[in-house]
Amino acid sequence: MISVNGNLSVPWTEGLTVGGVLQALGWDYVLIAVSIDGVFVAPEDFDSRLVPDGASIEAIHIAHGG
């Protein structure tokens, strides 16, 4: 199981990526900062960075506007 922001969870599966976690949550924000177990993941790596079972993810939507 993957913990997200301390209050959500996503079932772990073999080959799960950061992009897969965000998709499972229905999050498609253009600007989002993500870390896995305290380590920042660059947006260009979301679809290739594997998430280990039991990981803790912090994801913060960066609001913008004017």
pLDDT at 5 over 80: yes
Residue of 48, 43, 45 lying closest to 29 (CA atoms) = 43
26 part of a folded domain: yes
Enter the pTM of the model: 0.91
DSSP β-ladder status, 32-36 and 8-10: unpaired
Domain residues for the domain of 56 are 2-61
66 part of a folded domain: no
pLDDT at 66: 65
H or E element, residue 21:
helix 18-25
Q: How would residue 65 be classed by pLDDT, with cut points 50, 70 and 90?
A: confident
- The predicted-structure confidence for 11-60, as pLDDT tens digits, reads as follows 999 999 999 999 999 998 889 999 999 999 999 999 999 999 999 999 99
pLDDT at 36: 98
23 part of a folded domain: yes
Total domains in the fold of the chain: 1
CATH number for 56 = 3.10.20.30
53 part of a folded domain: yes
